């Protein structure tokens, strides 16, 4: 099993550009989540999904969209990047009480 | 709104000493997580505590949960340099009834000196 994979590892965007952060898991987990981590803070939930076709907002959803067309994939879309979205993004999948985190994507918006 | 607070936020320890990191949370929950994060890396799961009075130990780390006090502790025994990292606690947003929705504390940056 590859576990939870994220691409790209690093990305630099200009303000106003759009992009998609990819997240995939090969463990057949129903629950998947996106978090962001800013310096001096813990992770904050952006969006989550309880299964294919079902998504909902977390604590900080503004400026982000998600969809879940398959169990394996949970992409995060930035519609119009802003400097405030400079952060490290972690995707996670959940089996029971165990969370599995991806390696992260470091995003800089200039 | 669930709030999770850790203290201290910074901890500088000498090797061989003991110390405790505290994690307080504001609403009822029966599930609490502890994670370790090394610089530039992802989160590594340390413990999942699932009930009042739960205690788990792995090596020099021991975690406990008091759901009545809404408090978890991570105790470090005889610290060694390899324990230097950032430690996070996290609580299920829905009080232990959902999955994949965690609220994290701010993190405790632990540095162990010779």
Residue A96 pLDDT class (50, 70, 90 cuts): confident
Give, as one character, the DSSP assignment of residue B83: G
In angstroms, the separation between the Cα of residue A92 and the nearest Cα of chain B is: 8
Instruction: Give yes or no for B95 touching A (CB within 8 A).
Output: no
Cβ atoms of residues A73 and A22 within 8 Å: yes
**Mean pLDDT across chain B:** 94
Asked if B106 lies within 8 A of A42 by C-beta distance, the reply is yes
In angstroms, the separation between the Cα of residue B15 and the nearest Cα of chain A is: 25
Match 């969209």 to its residue by tokens. A65
Instruction: Give yes or no for B43 touching A (CB within 8 A).
Output: yes
Selection from B35, B66, B92 nearest residue A96 by Cα? B92
Q: Is residue B20 scored above 90 in pLDDT? A: yes
Q: Is residue B27 scored above 80 in pLDDT? A: yes
| B48-86 tens-digit pLDDT | 999 888 999 999 999 999 999 999 999 999 999 999 999
């Amino acid at each position: 099993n590859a576990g939870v994979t994220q691409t790209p590892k690093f990305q630099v965007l200009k303000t106003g550009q759009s992009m998609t952060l990819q997240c995939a898991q090969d463990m057949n987990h129903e629950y998947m989540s996106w978090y962001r981590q800013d310096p001096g803070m813990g992770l904050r939930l952006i969006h989550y999904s309880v299964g294919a076709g079902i998504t909902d907002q977390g604590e900080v959803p503004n400026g982000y969209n998600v969809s879940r067309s398959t169990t394996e994939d949970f992409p995060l879309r930035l519609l119009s990047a802003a400097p405030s979205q400079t952060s490290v993004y972690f995707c996670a999948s959940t089996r029971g009480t165990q969370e599995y985190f991806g390696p992260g994507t470091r995003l800089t918006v200039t | 709104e669930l709030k999770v607070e850790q203290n201290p936020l910074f901890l500088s320890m000498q090797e061989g000493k003991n110390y405790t990191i505290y994690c307080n949370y504001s609403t009822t929950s029966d599930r609490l997580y502890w994670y370790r994060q090394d610089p530039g890396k992802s989160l590594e799961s340390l413990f999942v505590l699932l009930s009042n009075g739960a205690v788990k130990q792995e090596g020099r780390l021991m975690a406990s949960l008091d759901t009545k006090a809404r408090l978890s502790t991570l105790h470090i025994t005889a610290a060694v340099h390899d324990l230097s990292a950032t430690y996070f606690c996290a609580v299920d947003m829905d009080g232990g009834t959902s999955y994949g929705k965690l609220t994290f504390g701010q993190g405790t940056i632990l540095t162990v000196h010779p």
